[in-house]
Amino acid sequence: MKTFENESIDVIFADPPYFLSSGGKSISSGKIVSVDKGEWDKKENYGDVEKFTFAWVSECYRILKKRSSIWISSTHHNLFVLKDALDKAGFKLINIIIWKKIDPPPLIYKNKFRFSYEFVIWANKGYGHYFNYNAMYNINNQEMEDVWILPAVAMSEKKFGKHPTQKPECLLERIIKASTLPEYVVLDPFMGSGTTGVVCKKLGRKFIGIEKEKKYYELAKRRIIDIE
């Protein structure tokens, strides 16, 4: 991002590390599996997590146009660090969306409530932002609320391979429709499997993606090229 010009991007969607990879367990398809995602998700590999978070968030602030916005997915594991970084960088909170999952995994240890949601922070630079109120209203013929009940990733979205933190296209479709116009440039600085790029191509938006893991870059490229 340091190579980007000041105020050159219209909207950013970021799905940064949640720092969940610490040897925990979950259930997938009825089997107990590790929640470790990879070296990129391990907190110890970043030294100072607060410093790392502020570094990329402040770069996002620099390259976003004045009347623009940023979306960041999170859980309680990184929500407060993100909110602190956004405040320090100069962002102003618009909403914190709760993405309520239709099919969350069951608990292994029956000592807490079942986890069934993630957060999506939406913020701007303090100069206003674009919001397609009518498009959101028309989804259910009522004002869109800040709790979105959406499914996890469909199997059809994994046909070229999968990413351990892949987001569903329906989530990105709502975000892109809500906050962009056709001429907008959308940046995803943690591209992963390329869902943001896939949705941007389907909706006719310009897209820039950044991904450090070569195998996920190749996966994203295959998915995006496949869209006609």
Whether residue 130 contacts residue 97, with contact meaning beta carbons closer than 8 Å, is answered with no
Contact 185, 159 (CB under 8 A): no
Distance CA 155, CA 36 (A): 21
- Mean pLDDT throughout 82-90? 98
Lowest mean pLDDT among 32-36, 46-50, 139-143, 192-196: 32-36
Q: How confident is the model at residue 32 (pLDDT cuts 50, 70, 90)?
A: low
Give the residue from 147, 189, 163, 146 showing the smallest Cα distance to 11.
Answer: 189
Mean pLDDT, rounded, of the chain: 92
CB within 8 A of 212, min separation 6: which ones? 40
Q: What was the pLDDT predicted at 96?
A: 98
Q: What is the pLDDT of residues 102-141, one digit of tens each?
A: 988 888 888 889 999 999 999 999 999 999 999 999 999 9
> Tokens 């109120």 belong to which residue?
133
Q: What is the mean pLDDT of residues 66-85?
A: 96
Query: What domains sit in the chain, N to C, each tagged with a CATH number?
Result: 9-226 (3.40.50.150)
Structure tokens at 167: 């987001």
Q: Please, are residues 177 and 197 in contact by the beta-carbon 8 Å criterion?
A: no
Question: E strands, the chain, where?
Answer: 9-14, 25-28, 31-34, 64-74, 92-101, 117-124, 147-150, 185-188, 206-209
Report which of residues 47 and 193 the model is more confident about: 193
- Which of 14-23, 53-62, 168-177, 218-227 has the weakest average pLDDT? 14-23
Task: Determine the pLDDT at residue 64.
Answer: 98
